[in-house]
Every structure is written in C-alpha cells, then in structure tokens.
Amino acid sequence: MIKRTDYLEKLIGYKDKQIIKIVTGIRRCGKSTLLQMYQNYLLQHSVLPSQIIAVNFEDIDNAHLKDPLELYSYISSQLQPDRMNYVILDEIQMVENFPKVVDSLYIKKHVDIYITGSNAYLLSSEIATMLSGRYVEIKMLPLSFKEYTNSTGVEEISRKYNNYLQFSSFPFVMELGNDAVKVREYLDGLYNSVILKDVVAKNKIADVMMLESVIRFIFNNIGNLMSTKKIADTMTSAGRKISTHTVESYVTALVNSFIIYRAKRYDIKGKQYLKTNDKYYIVDLGLRSYLLGSKGGDVGHILENIVYLELIRRDYEVFVGKTGTAEVDFVAMKQGIPEYYQVSATVRDSDTLTRELKSLHEIADHYPKFLITMDDDPPVDHNGIQQINVKDFLLT
C-alpha cells in the first residue's frame, strides 16, 4: 500500500469524535485503501476486530445490504454494547436512502461512522441538510507528486516529474511501472467506468457521444476562461448542435463525479465572487493524455492544472483572481485568508517576468504572493513575491 499519510492523519484526528467522517473523491483514487489503512491503524492501537464493522458495497457478497433496512439490521446486530464500534461503509451512495441509515446509527452510543462515495450526490443539498452539522468531508485526490515521489525508486526528481505527468497519478498505475500500453488499458477501463457509472447512468444521459464531445472540449481547454454558453456555441459552430442547458447539465455531472474541477472567478479588489467565465481543471493529467494524446504547446496550462490540484489537496478554496483588467491565476483561501499564485512555464525572458509580476504587484494587500515556474533556478524574492520552482513547491 502507498502511504497516504495526510489523509490518514485526518481520519485519526477525528477518531472517536461524534461526527460522521465522509471521504469523497473520484473512483480509484484510493478511498478504499485509505479505509483499510485506517482499520490497520485501529487494530494496532488496541481495537478488537469485533469492534470494526466494514462493508464495501462494490462487493457482490454485500448486494443484499444495499437494502437500507437490511443494512441497518446487519450493523445493529454486530454492535458491541460497551465498546466503541467503528462502522466503515465504502461507496455508500449505492444504498438507497442511506442518509436515514447513517443518521440512525449516528444517534446510537459508542458508534463512530466512516463513509466514502465517488459522486458529489453523496452530499447533495437534501442529504447535507439531513446530516447538517453532523459530518466532516475529507476530499481525496489521486497521488500528489510528493506521495508519488516517496513511493518510487531512486530516479532523479525531474524524471519522476515527467513520469508523473505522463503515466497518471492514480495509485494502481504505480504497479504497472512505466509500461505505457498497460497504463493506457487501465486508464481506458477507469475512464469508461467513471463516465458510464457516475455520469451517464446517474444522470440518465442518452447522447453519450455528445457528452464525450463536451469532455474532449473541456480537457482540451483546461486553464482557459469559458462559460457553458461558449462551449455550446463552439460545438454548435463545429456542427455538433447542443443547448447551453444541456452543456450545463453535463458539466455539473462531470464536476459531481470529480473528473473535473471548476474554479470560479474572484474580484480581489471588490472582494466578491463573479458569476461569469470559470476555469476547469482535470483530476488527473494521465486521463487527458489518454483521451487527447500527447499534445505540445500547452505546458503552461498543464502546469496550472498541477498547481491547482496541489492547492486543493492542501485544503485551500481556490479561485481565479481578477485585479483591474489583469488576472491572477489563483486566489487560494483558507479560513478567509488569501494567498496569491501566478503560474508560468518560464520567466527567464525579462518581458515575460515583468508581465507575470505585474498583476501580483497590483494587489494592494500584503498577503503572501508566489510565482511558480518550471525554471530550475534558486528561489528569488521579487519585492515580496516569492519565485519558486514547481517541483520544490510540490515537495514542500
């Protein structure tokens, strides 16, 4: 098992707290493995096997437990009356009316609940209202570069970085080495599983070819400002007529399945969120290469994608910043405190450096500002703006 230390420590930190722990993330990002690691931790810290009640709803042996009454009855019959019980329910969204089961278990004494799901429906407004104030969400992504690096051999960092981008960040890919054919076969199965189970079936989408056209468009335009109207107009102009409403429903389904992430815009000076033109980033660049092939000329947007995902991993809420007529790639918020990030493949050209620093210099406050590049140069301070190599940023 690849150690997912940061996520594991979050679970440990909430151990025995009267709050439901919900781990969300795209299929195969490591949720089930994380819960197995947590079970191992419990067993190593004086918890008896009889105190752990674990059900994986993707296991056909547990098909009968998808009935909510059957599930509740089964778990209730296993509970130890005078000890803490650790109830672990993997892919709980496969159980109809699961919130009622979870809520009924929550109010019992000596029950500590952990659940996972591969679709944001898990925390739709109705369900979130039912469980309001009773849960904490742990948002899981595939491997970070730091996790990937710590789990590979003695290759130098630059080679590891290139492999990380080329071969995907999904944990199982690590077992395939650098075999491009096997990696592609694995990503093909993963992609089709996510699209067919979490997007098409869940949202009852009839035109799968049109959905895939929208996916290709978004994958091809990561890091570009766009609206659902722009997507619809562009595709219609290319002979694939589609309404803005349909595009919006497709995009929402893709966001809910955690295959893409939407970064909304934020007016830094006015301190308000903007409603037009978002940016989209993909959960794994290996999936992009699988679908579009290796594309040249978009190094900057790939770099943006990597930085965006890393900020999300670090529990920031991330926006695209607007300052006057200029743009700041990312405004990363944590507890209402912003940090500002500008991302550029290289700034060794003086005009490029001036341009990239300009929007950061226009920000009047004194919160941290960073310029992240691929230049293998020592860290530089540009009047309070820290220039950092992306690999150093990812490994800190």
pLDDT of 125 reads 62
| Residue positions counted in the chain | 396
Distance CA 228, CA 248 (A): 6
Answer yes or no: are the C-beta atoms of 115 and 23 closer than 8 Å. yes
> pTM to 2 decimals?
0.94
Give ∠ CA 219-255-180 in degrees, rounded to 5. 45
Q: What is the DSSP string of 102-116?
A: HHHHHTSTTEEEEEE
How far is the first Cα of the chain from the last one, in angstroms, to the nearest whole number?
Answer: 22
The percent of residues in the chain predicted with pLDDT above 70, rounded, is 98
DSSP letters for 263-293: EEEEETTTTEEEEEEEEEEES-HHHHHHHH-
pLDDT in tens, 191-233: 999 998 889 998 999 999 999 999 999 999 999 999 999 999 9
Question: With the CA atoms of 324, 325, 330 and 334 taken in that order, what torsion angle do they form, in degrees rounded to the nearest 10?
Answer: 20
User: Quick one: 5-139 is in which CATH superfamily?
Assistant: P-loop containing nucleotide triphosphate hydrolases (3.40.50.300)
Residue type, 169: S
Rounded CA-CA distance 243/84 in Å is 53
* pLDDT value, residue 284: 97
Domain ranges of the chain: 5-139, 145-395
Q: Which residues of the chain have pLDDT under 70?
A: 125-126, 154, 295-297
Looking at residue 326, what is its pLDDT? 85
d(CA 362, CA 364): 6
pLDDT at position 124, please?
A: 78
Do residues 379 and 347 touch, judged by C-beta distance below 8 A?
no
pLDDT at position 295 is: 66
- Classify 176 in phi/psi space as left (phi over 0), alpha (psi -120 to 50) or beta: alpha
> How big is the CA angle at 85 (ends 81 and 91), to the nearest 5 degrees?
140
